[in-house]
Amino acid sequence: MSYTLAGQTLRSRFFLGTAAYPSPLILQQAIAAAGSELVTVSLRRQLQPGSLPSDFYRIIQHSGARLLPNTAGCRTAREAITLAHMARELFNTHWIKLEVVGDDYTLQPDPVELLEATRQLLADGFEVFPYCTDDLVSCQRLVDAGCKVLMPWGAPIGSGQGLLNPWALRTLRARLPGVFLVVDAGIGTPAHAVQAMELGFDAVLLNSAVAHSPDPVRMAQAFRLAIESGRLAWEAGIMPCQPMAVATTPVTGNPLLL
């Protein structure tokens, strides 16, 4: 079923990163297997010596996916703002995945610098997709600033630990019902993606779990099926947990004698 994201109609809820694949061909095949219509790219990586942006652009154009540049590696609001403007010029898009890291060990977003950059970029006409933590107050500040999309982490980037705090993510979903929520970072297995979607999140963004698999293409397909399954379960309605056994057949009344 299609949905609208920042004015664009999409069907896939699987957003895919494009770093660390064994080859451009495998990246191309993984995007196809994932069915992704939105892929992210680090502008810093594309500007590194020896990078092949022309090859990358051809892959994205062939896939038909929309490009979402990100500001990975930025440490301050000013740095992220500058990079976002460069991305708009180079990629011809006003969409930006905003990353402002505050800690080298966990790569946790800096909530103060992130909010400052968000406010400025929104004023500059960007559609901002902020990578943030699962802290409700920080997320609410971003929404109050004008964000329509949030990308809270499940766990530290690249860790593969899954959803470390389902309660916090569930709280975000309940308290921010009108916001498009994407679990971003920490996803390691398709089961983690199912869990995120069953919590009511709108999409999942991941990179390492596919790129670092011995078979990225098959893993991309596995995640595609998992995300579709989790979303379908959420839409169907998941039964509530019970504190004790609940029989599916009557245990009282008259027995049936034949």
Q: Compute φ and ψ for 220, nearest 5 degrees.
A: -60, -40
In the annotation, is 148 catalytic? no
Tokens of 136: 């409700």
d(CA 198, CA 176): 16
Annotated binding site for 1-deoxy-D-xylulose 5-phosphate: 158, 185-186, 207-208
- C-alpha span between 201 and 185 (Å, rounded): 14
Cα(96)–Cα(103) distance, integer angstroms: 21
Rounded Cα gap, residues 5 and 216, in angstroms: 27
SS3 77: helix
Q: Which of 97, 119, 192, 231 is catalytic?
A: 97
Q: What is the C-alpha separation between 220 and 187, in angstroms, rounded?
A: 13
3 state SS of 148: coil
In angstroms, the CA 3 to CA 9 distance is 6
Among residues 98, 91, 214, the alpha carbon closest in space to that of 149 is found at 98
Residues designated as active site: 97
